[in-house]
Each structure stands twice: as C-alpha cells, then as structure tokens.
Amino acid sequence: MPKKIVAEKITKAFPSPRGTIVALRDFNLDVEDGEFMCIVGPSGCGKSTFLRILAGLLPVTSGQYVIHASPDAPEGKPLNNVVFQEYAIFPWKTVLDNIAFGLQMRGIGKQERYEIAREWIRRVGLTRFEDCYPHELSGGMKQRVSIARAFANDPEVLLMDEPLAALDAQTRAIMQTELLRIWESDKKTVVYITHSIDEAVLLGDRVVLMTARPGVNKACYDVPFERPRDLRLTATAAFAELSYSIWESLQEEVKKAMEEQLQ
Amino acid sequence: MKGSKSLSAWQKILIGVSVLLVCDLLFTLLGLWKKQWIIAVGINFVGIALIFQWLQAYVPPRRLKAYERSLAIGFPIVMLATWELLVRAGILSATWFPPPSRVAQALWEVATEYNKFTKTSLLGRPWLIPDMYSEQGWQGVVTLFQESHLWATLMRVFLGFLAGAIPGLVVGVAMGMSRTVRVMLDPVVSAIYVIPKITILPLMMLIFSPFGEMYKIVTVAIGVFFVVLINAMTGVMQVDPIFIEAGENYGAHGFQLFRHVIVPAAMPVIFAGLRLALGTALIIIVAIEFVRAKSGVGFLTWYYWEILNPPKMYAGLIVIMILGVVLTYGLQWFEGIVMPWRRRREQRVVLEIPEG
C-alpha cells in the first residue's frame, strides 16, 4: 500500500509565561492509503495539536510532514478536512449550506454542490432537516452535519478530532456504528483522535499510543478484526483482550499526566 | 396558622381578595389614600400580583400564553384607568398629571390642529390630504407630510443614523480584525466615547453653520458612530476562533472568510449596537430640538412647556415613545431578514431521529 501521510520528527513547542511547553517531541506517523488510523493518548498529550498541525492550522516547531495527493485527483480536491470536537458548523447556515460549504468555497455551482450535499444529507439520515439551522438540531445531529460536511468536500484525508467526545454514551454508540457504515462505503484515509480505547479498537485499522506530555510514540497496535464491523465486535473476547492490553500500556501515561497536573 | 399549607389556591384567592378589600376600606376610612398613597398603592399592587399568581394554577396549559398576554395588556389599561380615576377623585392634581383622556385629546389636537406659532402640526395639515391627493397623487401627500414635525424628527434621526452607522461599521470591523488598527485607534475612540455627544453641539454649529439641518444630523451621526463602532469591534473580536479555523480548513480565505464567517458571526453583537445607537440617536435629537430647533417632536414638547400646556407636553412624550417603539420594531424586522437563523428560535421541537 502507498503511504498517504508521512510525518517525521514533529516537534511543537508553545511559549508560555512559565517557560516553553513542549507539546509534541519527535512524533512520527505514517498512514497508508485508505487506512483508518486512530491516535490514543492521555489528556493533554498533544494529540489534538498534532491533528491541527496536519490540518495546516498550526505551524510546526521542527520536523516535517506531507500528505500525498492521489495521482488522479481532480482539480481543487483538498488535501484534508477536519471534523472538530466542538462541531464548528456555522450557526448562520442551514444544514444544506453547511454541508455544501467546502464545495462552495471551491467555486462549485449551486446546483452541483447542492446535489452532492443532498446525497450526504441522505447518507447521514438528515433528509427532513436540510433547511434547519444548527440551533434546531441536537448534539448528535450537529455532529452528523459536521461529518457530512467533511465527506461532501471529498478531501484526500479526513482528520477527526474526538468528534464524538461531546455526545452522551448512547448517542455515541449510535454514531460509532454510523461512522463505520459511512466510512466502509468510502474507505477514505482517516486520522482519528480519541481518548477512548474501545472506540479506537472498534473503528481503527491501527491504534497509535502517545505518551503523556511531551507526546512521543509509545506503541502501535494492529487491529486485526475483519470488516465490516459493528458494535457486536465489542462483546467479543478478542476485542476485550486487545483493549485491555492497550489500556495496560496507556494507564501509566495517564498516571504520569495526572501526577503532573497535581504538581 | 398551622393549616395554611393545606389551603387550596381558591381559598387563598378568596382570602387575598377579602384582605385587600378590607385594607382598601380601612385606607379610605382613615384617609390614607391621600397622605400615604405610596404605601396604599404598593400594598394593592402586591395583593393583585399575588392573586393573579395563584389564579395561574387554574389556567389550562394551552391557555397560558393567552392568560399572560391578557395580563400584559390588561395591567397597563388598569393603570391608565386608575390614573384617570385618581385625577377625577381629586387625589392626583389634574394640572401636573392630566388624565389619560385629556392627554389623548391633546394628542389629537397636537397631531391635527394647525398651530399659528409653529405654522404646522405634528402631522402637518392632514385635512388637506384628500385635496392634495386628487391634485398631485401620493407625491402631493408626501410633500404635505414633509412640513410636519414628525417628518422633521424622522428625517434627522434617519439621516444621522445612516451617516453614523455605516462609517461606524466599517471602522469598527477594521479595528476588530486588525490588531494594529485597534492599537492605533483605541485610545482616541475610548477617549471620545465617554463624552456625552450632545456636548459637541456648539462645536458642530460652529463648523456647519448654526442654521439648517446639517449640524443636527452630524451631531446625531457622531453619537451613533461611536456606539456602532464599539459594538462592531467587539462583535468581530468575539468571533469564536473555531469558526475561523473551520472556515479556513474548508477553503475560505480573505474576502470569502470575511463574508461567510466573520460578518455573520459578529452580526448579533453588531445589531445589539445598532439598537443601542437608535436609542442614542433619539436622545440626541430630542435634546437638540429642545435647545435649537424650530421644528420636530422635541421642539413641540419644549414649546408646550414654555406655554405651560401639560397635556400637550404629555402628548409630545407619547409621540416620542411611539417613535422609539416603531423604529425599534423596524430594526428588529430588518434583523430578522438579515439573520434568518435567529428567527423561530423557540418554535421547533428538536428530535433525535433514529436511523432507517
């Protein structure tokens, strides 16, 4: 498989009144084309920082990364689009216009972009809501809009920053299944940040574990389960075993992060 | 009273009404209505409010809106009626507090009767409307209306508001978006902002001749300018960075980012500023008309003070009040057109729809 994303020795330091804070140090990641890559780490380990760097929203302090465009990419195909944790869909645009936003910015005509947007509205199950404004939607529906906005723009890679973290447990379970279904029909390269090991193992092809701050590579796990997957997978012994072995490795980092907070 | 907890609302209402009646009877007998009227009115208000609150328990939920609306409309009517009664009973002085019926009559006179001194009326010469309409059509009616006091004030407010709000928006947005511009202009703006704008009236008369309309409009415009500017700046600065990140990540840059993200995100605060500025414009114009103008609603009110005609002074107040309400509603209507996503906020019920 060709490499889609290659990030080498990414270091990110933030200046602060109490000296420099190193969020990431020499972090490496490569993601294959069509791979669902999950990154798990304790709170504050710099995983969101890494995603923002990949998205071009933050400059690196040192290191380099590249997102390879596919050779047959049409003109104007974006390299990445982000699904934000806070949804970040625009309250002043309808569901339809939110989902068509990226296409509109690329200069695609009204009829064509609405056609594409409507198809994604159908796929995320919001058909009756295309003329609604976000304040009329629940949290789960807002995140559907946010996910559809990213898919509709058809980027080379999708970057998801804890997209389901703000939802309640039951809505999250539904959205995980939906995300699997949508992704499996599309097989887009995904980098998915989460703090939930179960979610990472359920969704991902590989799970990369980060240490407490500064975030460096700690381990990488292959997730061997067959696709298509659904929530039933979480009830199997193999799933529990893999989740637990990741947790064993993660927990010392979580403790480290907690101790640092206490100081 | 041990059993008071188990009283039903009806019993409470009955007791409340009778206690209130007994109190009022006592007040009347002791003559307290005249000497201690503040206490008497206060007790009556508290009693009435309590009774209506208990009464609410018997209003079916689907009637609750209608119940509240009738309270909101009914209570002011009761207040006006009380005022009328108090004056007729000789408790309130008819000289300083002319009864509503007298004020209404004065309003009608002010609006339609030609005044020799001001050479027009609040609405101009409306009795000429049929003639003018048959002669010159709507054009003639407008010409006729242009000589009225209402038109004079409206025009000053409207032109001053536009002349202040548009540059205020431009400069405010620029200050919100550029730190450099903000650092440069902020001390000047903050210093001028605290000056009550009516103080610059003499200066404006010096610069733009003390005659005509120009200095009035400019004074209103300057007052509006600073209020709009400060709010536009705050609105732009308060745009949640996540929206800007999302905009940029989805390919919006430069003007597109401005038009699709920054402006709509700042819009609610900008409109709050416009509403404040409208109030400022009314204050300034009325103050100017008090001291300088020979036309306008403020002038009319002042004129009836000078000739000591309280009912017509009240009429002037009412016209200014109506003007403020109408202009504010106009602005809200405009707000709904510009920000459709702020409409129908409470109406739709949100449902999480299951798949399939």
pLDDT at position B136 is 82
B18-50 burial, b if ≥16 CB within 10 A, otherwise e?
A: eebeeebeebeeeebbeeeeeebeebeeebeee
* Per-residue pLDDT at A101: 95
Distance from CA of A133 to the nearest CA of B (A): 6
CATH fold label, A5-73+156-262: Rossmann fold (3.40.50)
Query: Would you state the pLDDT for residue A39?
Result: 94
Written as one letter, the residue type at B274 is: L
Q: Is A108 helix (H, G, I), strand (E, B) or coil?
A: coil
Q: What is the pLDDT of residue B183?
A: 95
Kindly list the domain boundaries of chain A, sorted by start residue: 5-73+156-262, 84-154
Q: How far apart are the C-alpha atoms of A145 and A95, rounded to whole Å?
A: 7
pLDDT for position B1: 44
CA distance B38 to B44: 10
Q: Establish if B341 touches chain A: CB-CB under 8 angstroms.
A: yes
Give A147-162 pLDDT, tens digit per residue. 999 999 989 999 999 9
A17-43 pLDDT, tens per residue?
888 888 888 999 999 988 999 999 888
In chain A the first and final C-alpha atoms are separated, in Å, by 45
**From CA A143, how far away is CA A125, in angstroms rounded?**
12
Q: Do B250 and A149 touch (CB under 8 A)?
A: yes
Nearest by CB to residue B353, choosing from A55, A89, A125, is A125
Within an 8 Å CB–CB cutoff, is residue B336 touching chain A?
A: no
- pLDDT tens sequence across A117-150: 999 999 888 989 999 999 999 888 999 999 999 9
Q: By three-state DSSP, how is residue B158 classified?
A: helix
With CA atoms as reference, the chain B residue closest to A103 would be B250
Contact between B264 and A171 using a beta-carbon 8 Å cutoff: no
HSE-up of residue B136 (Cα within 13 Å, Cβ side): 9
Q: Which residue of A has its CA nearest to B248?
A: A57
Q: Is residue A15 predicted with pLDDT exceeding 90?
A: no
pLDDT in tens, chain B (356 residues): 444 566 777 888 888 889 888 988 888 888 777 777 788 888 888 988 988 888 888 888 888 888 989 999 999 998 899 889 888 888 788 888 999 999 999 999 888 887 777 777 887 777 777 788 888 878 888 888 888 888 999 999 999 999 999 999 999 999 999 999 999 999 999 999 999 989 999 999 999 988 889 999 999 999 999 999 999 999 999 999 999 999 999 999 999 999 999 999 999 999 999 999 999 999 999 999 999 888 889 998 999 999 899 999 999 999 999 999 999 999 999 999 999 888 755 444 444 444 33
Q: Is A1 exposed, middle or buried (0-12, 13-18, 19+ CB in 10 A)?
A: exposed
Task: Pick from B240, B335, B341 the residue to mutate for testing the A interface (most A CBs within 10 Å).
Answer: B341
pTM value is 0.82
Place of tokens 């027009």: B120
* Distance in angstroms (rounded) separating the CA atoms of residues B217 and B163: 8
Q: Which of A53, A80, A92 to mutate to test the interface with B (most CBs of B within 10 A)?
A: A92
Residue B237, SS3? helix
Sign of CA dihedral B237, B238, B239, B241: positive
Please report the ipTM that was assigned to this predicted complex.
0.90
Closest residue of chain A to B349, computed from CA coordinates: A136
Per the listing, tokens 């995983």 go with A47
Note whether A90 contacts B353, CB cutoff 8 Å.
no
Identify the pLDDT of residue B153.
Answer: 93
What was the pLDDT predicted at B344? Answer: 59
Residue B346: per-residue pLDDT: 46
Residues of chain A contacting B260 with CB distance shorter than 8 Å: 90, 101, 104-105
Average pLDDT over residues A83-96: 91
Please compute the mean of the pLDDT values over residues A245-259 and round it to a whole number: 86
| A116: helix, strand or coil | helix
Contact status, residue B99 vs residue B90, Cβ threshold 8 Å: no
Contacts of B348 (CB under 8 A, 6+ apart): A132, A136
